[in-house]
Amino acid sequence: MTATETPPVMSTRTAAVAVGLLFITNGALIGGVGGALPALRERLEVSASGLSLLLFCLAASAVISMQIGGRLADRIGARPVALCTLTLLAVGVGLLALTSSLPWAIVAMVLAGLGNGAMDVAMNSLGVEVEQARPKPIMSRFHAFWSLGNLTAAGTIVLIARIFDRTGGANVGPALGTLCTAGLISIAVCFRIVPVGRKIEHKLDGVRTAIPRLAWALGLMAFCFGLAEGTAVDWSSVHVTDVAKIDPSTGALGLVAVSGFMVIIRLLGDQAVARVGRRAVVRVGAVTAIAGYLVTVFTQPLPLLLVGWALVGLGVGLVAPQVYAVAGHVGDGRMLAIVVTFGYAAFLVGPAIIGQLVEHFGVQHAMVLPLVLSGCLVAVSGVLPRDD
């Protein structure tokens, strides 16, 4: 495998800020979709199956986009892929803000998925490149920015929905429109400061190299944490709304708890990796997520539910940055694309599966699936290096 490096065009610090901006913008736009789901359910007059259909459309288009985006990122560099797909994601969220019918909501979800899938691969590829140029880990902080974007989106949903609809109803259009506008502004800034990514040819002496076997073990881990994290992002607000029997905009506090504590732990994650290694960090995170999901399955009062989702946020927040970082360091963009595909396929398809479980068994019993997969993370974590 060979990599064609372009001359550096900015400092490592500026590059880190630029990539962080990509993460926070992506997190805000995706978080806006997740936080708006309870209100969209009312506006579109659909059941849990209807929400599952929307999430499936988001997932399917994202998985397709990841495969195309991963190859393009290696061929032309991750920068143009990230910028173009961020634009597509923002347009999808903007259309979702305007629609009041299920067919147009499906179109909006497809556009958002096409943008989000390739952008996930591209921004993580850029993040690994920045980390490789630094003496200390930084991937956890990048994912903290993503969670901060999620948190900002959830707060925006709660505040603007209450401003425009004092009853706490289904008017989330202004909030999603605000997030879309912020995303478009971010694109203009990113265009000027996002670093030029390297181009990679997966060949050695003219022969195409094989994908390292570690990719598939990391992919399994990514599927487990992807479903656990995706459930938290997309269903925490619905779970809190239905179990605690509160209005939809207040139910978005579930996502606030998840995202807020993910931000906190990811800001501390790089220091933890430097001290005890990625394997120990992942195991602690998985056990914490198990504790959180146990609370969501067996309790009903709002304060306890928020504690449960906070523990889930703390736990899953530790896992993803470490698995993606190992993939990027070991196998560069191609391997990272595979692992990201597993993770985000689960992140997006998983909540749709949860929707079917909610339909048949109820929202609390549906949380058993991410609980079990969090346990699987502990078992598979032995493939990770003890330190980095």
Sign of the CA dihedral 354, 355, 359, 365?
Answer: positive
Sign of the CA dihedral 371, 216, 84, 147?
Answer: positive
Q: What is the pLDDT of residues 258-303, one digit of tens each?
A: 878 888 899 998 888 888 888 989 999 999 999 999 999 999 888 8
Average pLDDT, whole number, for the chain? 83
Indicate whether 259 belongs to any domain: yes
Backbone angles phi, psi at 95, to 5 degrees: -65, -35
**pLDDT at residue 53, as a whole number:** 86
Indicate whether 285 belongs to any domain: yes
Amino acid at 145: F
**pLDDT at residue 66, as a whole number:** 84
Q: For residue 154, what are the domain limits?
A: 11-192+212-383
**d(Cα 61, Cα 69) in Å, to the nearest integer?**
12
Q: For 88-96, what is the mean pLDDT?
A: 92
**pLDDT at residue 298, as a whole number:** 92
Backbone angles phi, psi at 138, to 5 degrees: -145, -5
Categorise residue 302: left if φ over 0, alpha if ψ from -120 to 50, beta otherwise.
Answer: alpha
Length of the chain: 388
Q: Could you give the number of structural domains in the chain?
A: 1
Find all residues with CB under 8 Å of 273, minimum gap 6, and list them: 137, 140, 281, 322, 388
Indicate whether 124 belongs to any domain: yes
**pLDDT at residue 202, as a whole number:** 52
In this structure, the strands spanning 203-204 and 199-201 are: unpaired
**pLDDT at residue 195, as a whole number:** 66
Residue 338 has pLDDT above 80, yes or no: yes
Indicate whether 61 belongs to any domain: yes
What percent of the chain shows pLDDT beyond 70?
88
The token duo for 225 is 């944490």
CATH code of 53's domain:
1.20.1250.20
Indicate whether 2 belongs to any domain: no
Q: What is the 3-state secondary structure (H, E, C) of the chain?
A: CEEECCCCCCCHHHHHHHHHHHHHHHHHHHHHHHHHHHHHHHHHCCCHHHHHHHHHHHHHHHHHHHHHHHHHHHHHCHHHHHHHHHHHHHHHHHHHHHCCCHHHHHHHHHHHHHHHHHHHHHHHHHHHHHHHCCCCCCHHHHHHHHHHHHHHHHHHHHHHHHHHCCCCCCCCHHHHHHHHHHHHHHHHHHHHHCCCCCEEECEECCEECCCCCHHHHHHHHHHHHHHHHHHHHHHHHHHHHHHHCCCHHHHCHHHHHHHHHHHHHHHHHHHHHHHHCHHHHHHHHHHHHHHHHHHHHHCCCHHHHHHHHHHHHHHHHHHHHHHHHHHHHHHHHHHHHHHHHHHHHHHHHHHHHHHHHHHHHCHHHHCHHHHHHHHHHHHHHHHCCCCC
Q: In terms of pLDDT, which residue wins out, 119 or 52?
A: 119
Q: What is the pLDDT of residues 174-220, one digit of tens each?
A: 888 888 888 888 888 888 777 666 666 655 555 566 677 888 899 99
Q: Which residues make beta-bridge pairs with 199? A: 4
Indicate whether 202 belongs to any domain: no
Indicate whether 1 belongs to any domain: no
Q: For 62-83, what is the mean pLDDT?
A: 82
**pLDDT at residue 371, as a whole number:** 93
**pLDDT at residue 207, as a whole number:** 58
CB of 260 closer than 8 Å to CB of 150: no
Indicate whether 203 belongs to any domain: no
Residue 167 has pLDDT above 50, yes or no: no
In which band, very low, low, confident or very high, does the pLDDT at 43 lie, cut at 50, 70 and 90? Answer: confident
The token duo for 288 is 């914490």
Amino acid at 250: T
**pLDDT at residue 309, as a whole number:** 94
**d(Cα 314, Cα 263) in Å, to the nearest integer?**
8
CB of 367 closer than 8 Å to CB of 292: no
Widest distance between CA atoms in the chain: 67
**d(Cα 89, Cα 194) in Å, to the nearest integer?**
17
Q: For 346-358, what is the mean pLDDT?
A: 80
Q: Comparing C-alpha atoms, which of 294, 322, 325 is closest to residue 308?
A: 294
Q: Classify burial at 245, counting beta carbons within 10 Å of its beta carbon; exposed 0-12, middle 13-18, buried 19 or more.
A: exposed
In which band, very low, low, confident or very high, does the pLDDT at 6 lie, cut at 50, 70 and 90? Answer: very low
Beta-carbon neighbour count of residue 191 at 10 Å?
12
Residue 375 has pLDDT above 90, yes or no: yes
